[in-house]
Structure 1
Amino acid sequence: MKATNRSLEGLRGAAALLVVLFHIGLLSPFSAIIRNGYLAVDLFFVLSGYVICSAYADRLETGRDVWRFIVRRSGRLWPLHIVTAILAYAFLGVIFALGGKHPHVPTGGELIAIATLTQGLAFPDRDIGNLVAWSTSDEFYVYLLFAVICLRLRRWRTTAFACAAVAGLAIALHVGAGSCVSIHRCMDQHASIGWARCLAGFFVGALLALSRTRLQSFGTPAVQIAMAIGSLVFVAGTSEFPLSAFAAPLVFAALIASLIADCGPLATILQTRPMQYLGKISYALYLGHGVVVLPFAGWLNQSQYPIGYQLAAIVVLLCVSFALARILHRHIEVPCRDRIYAWSDSRLDHDITRPSRGFPEDRPLP
């Protein structure tokens, strides 16, 4: 397998853009794919499991290795998470002040939950800070579980990964299936099953990573086209068949499997410069759009507005989201990540071999 899989980088970018369009919500009555774009978060989870397992599964052999892994993951997630939470509170404060309302002041419990990345685990039991950061919170603690399994259950890691994936999906079904059919969005319940979605998706991706060598020849041109079309049809079809949304981790795993060899028609599209740029800023775009899009999405997504107004709103919100993502990526995400990576390397003299440069989660600054 090539060290660099640019297809997965492009796929991350496509997923981030779909989440942005979903939260904008405009024109969603005309596109079932955008209307069900929340499922792109589950694609993120599977991608993350695949990438992290590919990069680290064979390298977490000691407690020091695990410590370095945790530090690096924190450096990847935490700085941008904190900055966008601050921006979210500040932006909402300005909006409330302009409307003559008292701005919300975060409580001590909210600040602790944000700082410890526990707000996605229902601590507290409401949305706080940057509303899309629940997935960052859930993913961080799934990283910890992954590291413990690799360290303590190495001989049984495949079984442990499978048990974690099945448990996550079973919990999501048990908790969410009864109430989700009426709203036609069966996985869009982050407050109650967000962590279970993350658990299922991440470890499905991890299982896929353990089989990646055997799947090198899976992604033929015909299979890639079929997986691409099938994934889009699946996402669109969850409106009519809501319970099918629980199959998202498996569907997206098949899509990723078709891209393991990093060649083919779909891979070629994902390797274009626009898609690569989207992939590069995907984390900043995901968290950044939560600051500027969500406060306006509900207000703008009204059926009485003409189509021209909706299109103009889409353009404005996308431009602002991309501009903020570029700033956050260049001035917060990358420099903070690189400094924390360098600190972990200098402090921990027992060096864990660095992950391959091409993995999207750990690509260093060019």
Structure 2
Amino acid sequence: MRGRVGSERFEALDAGRGVCALAVAFFHMPLAHPLQQQAWFPNLQFCVDVFFVLSGFVLLHAYGDRLASGRQVLRFVLMRFGRLWPLHALTLGLLVLIETVRFLYLSHHPDAPVATPPFGAAHRPVEIVTNLLFLQNFRTFGDYSWNFPSWSIAVEFWASIVLAATVLAAGPRARLAFVGLATASALALWWVSPRTLFVIQNWGIVRCLFDLFLGCLAYGLRDAVRLPRPAATRAEILAVLALPALVLMLPQGPLGYGASLVFAAAIALFSHQRGAVSGLARAQAPQCLGRWSFSIYLLHLPVIQVFTTAMHYVEQRTGLPHTVILGHDRYLDFGSGLANLAVAAALVAATVPLAALTYRFVERPSLAWFRRNDARLAAPAARAPACSAALVSR
């Protein structure tokens, strides 16, 4: 995650993004493992709020002082599109391919039992269009549509445009504007979802705006948490202990709104990278996970779809694994909680090397293409101060 050209790289925050991507992937695994029944398990959804807060922080760092004209905002929007859309379109295409294979198979085996019909609810062809336009979360069909984790990608794209317009109108240091918009978003979020921060369908954009502008505030106030190295180590250790405790202990309900404030403070702290925990986060393995985090986030659902489709086929012939209902959702059951937990972990692990491939062959080339074209767009303004496109966060 890079900021302005020549500025520091937020390597510690990159590592945190990777951990959150793995946590979200594990949360979505449709296995009847014992953690599914724990009261804290839904709190893994806070990882999405970490993504949103982090995006506000990094986008203001990378672009805040070069969104001074409509042309620069247009370039920003194109770069955001280039960062988010290509991998989103690829994973959507993979899911469409899976549904097509299911459709062709069932057309030749009409008596085969299926959990859901191909191209049924949440997989209708018309929804491909709304997904491609980043509109799947805006009161369109009401179901989790296709690659449903991509709802956050869609709302983040539109929210980042709101951020760019705010900076254009008020300037990158307009803290009062960020306070006002974060407060207004919080009140709107409270109005539409007074019981939980975890609103997704239809109102996810409000949740994203709330978190995004908290991230902008955290960036503006980061100097307040610039600590000497010994104190920074103590603060980072405290944060590393406090953040999991927040997930484990925070009850479901409106108190979740305060979690984003904690995330903003932790992001500001780790952005300075002055403590020993930041040093550990800058090791090779955490940095790889950080680079691959966007691919992990979007690719784990196609991995789940392939696995569940295969397991339903196996179930028809062997009776294993069983399908069970927990709450309102359907899960696979391999006979024991420990086996289910192991399968869930294995699926998350299997997503990682696939994510490394899509990062190498999709994310990097597509962003490089958009950067080259951004340079051409900037050519008429060659006499203006140079504004090289930064490799920004998810």
Shorter-chain TM-score category?
Answer: 0.7 to 0.9
- How big is the shift at 1:354? 2.4
Determine which of 2, 15, 20 is the counterpart of 2:20.
15
Amino acid aligned to 1:325:
A
C-alpha deviations, 1:6-57, integer Å up to 9, x for none?
Answer: 1011111111111111112644247666542111000000011100001111
After superposition, the Cα gap between the structure-2 partners of 1:338 and 1:27, relative to the gap in structure 1 and judged at 3 Å, is: farther
Matched, 1:307 2:337: yes
Q: Deviations over 1:143-189 (max 9, x none)?
A: 111111111222883222212211222222222124xxxxxxx2333
Matched, 1:237 2:256: no
| Corresponding position of 1:206 | 216
Q: Are the equivalent residues in 2 in contact too, given 1:113–1:124 (CA < 8 A)?
A: no
Aligned residue for 1:354? Answer: 388
Q: Which residue in the other structure is 1:117 paired with? A: 134
Determine the structure 2 residue equivalent to 1:265: 276
Q: Distance in 1 between matches of 2:9 and 2:338?
A: 42
Q: 8 Å contact 1:6–1:271 — kept in the other structure?
A: yes
Report the Cα distance in structure 2 between the residues aligned to 1:155 and 1:275, rounded to whole angstroms. 31
The counterpart of 1:75, out of the listed 82, 106, 112, is 82
Q: Secondary structure at the match of 2:225?
A: coil
Structure 2 vs 1, CA of residues 17 and 108 (structure 1 numbering), >3 Å: closer, same or farther? closer
Q: Structure 1 stretch 93-102 or stretch 32-41: which is displaced more? A: 93-102
How many residues are aligned here? 351
Q: Identify the match of residue 216 of structure 1 among 202, 220, 226.
A: 226
Residues 183-213 of structure 1: CA distance to partner in whole angstroms, max 9, x if unpaired? xxx2333004311111011110011112223
Residue 78 of structure 1: how far off its partner (Å): 0.6
Partner residue in 2 for 1:182: none
**Alpha carbons of 1:29 and 1:82: their partners in 2 closer, same or farther (altered >3 Å)?**
closer
1:256 aligned to 2:293?
no
What do residues 93-136 of structure 1 show as CA deviations (whole Å, max 9, x unaligned)? 44564655552076564233112111122333322221110000
**1:345 pairs with one of 369, 375, 386:** 375
| Residue number among 282, 299, 308 corresponding to 1:288 in the alignment | 299
Deviation at 1:278, TM superposition (A): 0.6
- Hey, what's the Cα distance between the residues in 2 that align with 1:275 and 1:155? 31
SS in 1 for 2:236: helix
Deviates more, 1:88-97 or 1:251-260: 88-97
Alignment of 1:176-191 (within 5 A): 176-178=193-195, 186-191=196-201
1:163 is aligned to 2:180: yes
Secondary structure in 1 aligned to 2:118?
A: coil
> Distance between the aligned counterparts of 2:101 and 2:347, measured in 1?
18
Larger radius of gyration: 2
User: Which of the numbers 65, 68, 71 marks the counterpart of 2:72?
Assistant: 65
**What is the SS of the residue equivalent to 2:85?**
helix
Asked if structure 2 preserves the Cα contact closer than 8 Å seen for 1:4 and 1:356, the reply is: no
Partner of 1:332 in structure 2?
362
TM-score by length of 2: 0.81
How far apart are the structure 2 equivalents of 1:122 and 1:36? 25
In the TM superposition, structure 1's runs of 4+ consecutive aligned residues that sit over 6 Å from their partners are none
Distance 1:231 1:33 in 2: 13
Give the TM-score normalised by the residue count of structure 1: 0.87
Between the aligned partners of 1:129 and 1:244, the Cα distance in structure 2 is 31
Instruction: Tell whether 2:203 aligns with 1:193.
Output: yes
Take 2:134 and 2:246, find their aligned partners in 1: how far apart are those partners? 32
Contact kept in structure 1, 2:14 and 2:291, CA below 8 Å: yes
Distance 1:217 1:64, change over 3 A: same
Gaps (5+ residues) in structure 2?
107-111, 309-322, 324-328
1:97-116 mapped onto 2 (5 Å cutoff): 97=105, 99=112, 102-104=117-119, 109-116=126-133
Matches within 5 A, 1:120-135: 120-135=137-152
Contact 2:24 2:45 in 1 (8 A): yes
| Aligned-CA RMSD value | 2.7
- Separation in 2 of the partners of 1:294 and 1:177? 33
